[in-house]
Amino acid sequence: GAGVSQSPRYKVAKRGQDVALRCDPISGHVSLFWYQQALGQGPEFLTYFQNEAQLDKSGLPSDRFFAERPEGSVSTLKIQRTQQEDSAVYLCASSLRSVSGANVLTFGAGSRLTVL
Amino acid sequence: DQQVKQNSPSLSVQEGRISILNCDYTNSMFDYFLWYKKYPAEGPTFLISISSIKDKNEDGRFTVFLNKSAKHLSLHIVPSQPGDSAVYFCAAGGSAQKLVFGQGTRLTINP
């Protein structure tokens, strides 16, 4: 597609449930990022893939968070045993970094997770 | 440790006047800086960037200024239009692929 597509757009989960959030990046973009945005805050980095390789997962807040990109295109962010503090918008972004210059990320619309 | 800071949560400007959004950073290793704009229920969209070797970059109504010695950058929008009302995020990047974002400034353009 023309842009980064995320699903579901909205997810309500009961505390303790597992959730899975999907991201379809822009075709041909080798880099894929997941960010978490809490209400009134800026996006916070979670993890980064280059093709299928997860090169940086330093931002994942706990071992309940897991991300994968098995074929180097679609990615899934999984949150196990959700807690109320996991409520946030989860943003996916992809990029095709130029040889020089800024790494411009193109973001999807996000998946808003509410944990009750 | 907040490496990128936007100290003004909100800004209100009259239509047609100049909007100036500010951003400070602490990490001198950042190679480039970007501004993103975000409307409600949408993802952030890229506006303009600047390399650390430059002090100004202009694109239409948008100009970004970088003061490396002060570790400060600003986004100027002139003239401001109602459609510019949104949340603006400044972001910084370097050798690592990820971008580090500020907390955002909500800009409101009043008619």
Could you write out the DSSP letters of every residue in A57-113? -TT--STTEEEE-TTSS-EEEEE-S--GGG-EEEEEEEE---SSS----EE---EEE
Q: What domains sit in chain B, N to C, each tagged with a CATH number?
A: 4-110 (2.60.40.10)
pLDDT over 60 (residue A99): no
Residue A32: name the closest of A70, A62, A88 by CA.
A70
**For position A103, what pLDDT does the model report?**
86
A99-108, B4-13, B28-37: segment of lowest average pLDDT: A99-108
φ, ψ (nearest 5 deg) of residue A80: -95, 150
With an 8 Å Cβ cutoff, is B89 touching chain A? Answer: yes
Q: What is the dihedral of CA A94, A83, A66, B90, to 10 degrees?
A: 30
Sketch the domain layout of chain A as residue ranges. Answer: 5-98+107-115
For residue B101, give how far its alpha carbon lies from the nearest alpha carbon of chain A (Å): 6
For residue A16, give how far its alpha carbon lies from the nearest alpha carbon of chain B (Å): 26
Between residues A80 and B94, which one has the greater pLDDT?
A80
The string of pLDDT tens digits covering residues B40-72 is 999 999 999 999 999 999 999 999 999 999 999
pLDDT over 80 (residue A100): no
Contact A59, A45 (CB under 8 A): yes
Provide the CATH topology of domain A5-98+107-115.
Immunoglobulin-like (2.60.40)
In the numeric block, the tokens 């952030």 are attached to B44
φ, ψ (nearest 5 deg) of residue A88: -175, 175
For residue A83, give how far its alpha carbon lies from the nearest alpha carbon of chain B (Å): 23
**For position A98, what pLDDT does the model report?**
56
Percentage of chain A beyond pLDDT 70 is 96
With an 8 Å Cβ cutoff, is B53 touching chain A? Answer: no
Residue A41 burial (10 A CB sphere; 0-12, 13-18, 19+): middle
**For position B16, what pLDDT does the model report?**
98
C-alpha B24/C-alpha A9 separation (Å) is: 32
Mean pLDDT of chain A: 94
Confidence bin at A102 (pLDDT 50/70/90): confident
**For position A38, what pLDDT does the model report?**
96
Conformation bin of residue B76: beta by default, left when phi > 0, alpha when psi is -120 to 50: beta
3-state SS class at B84: helix
**For position B45, what pLDDT does the model report?**
97
Give the chain B residue whose CA is nearest to the CA of A91: B43
Give the chain B residue whose CA is nearest to the CA of A108: B43
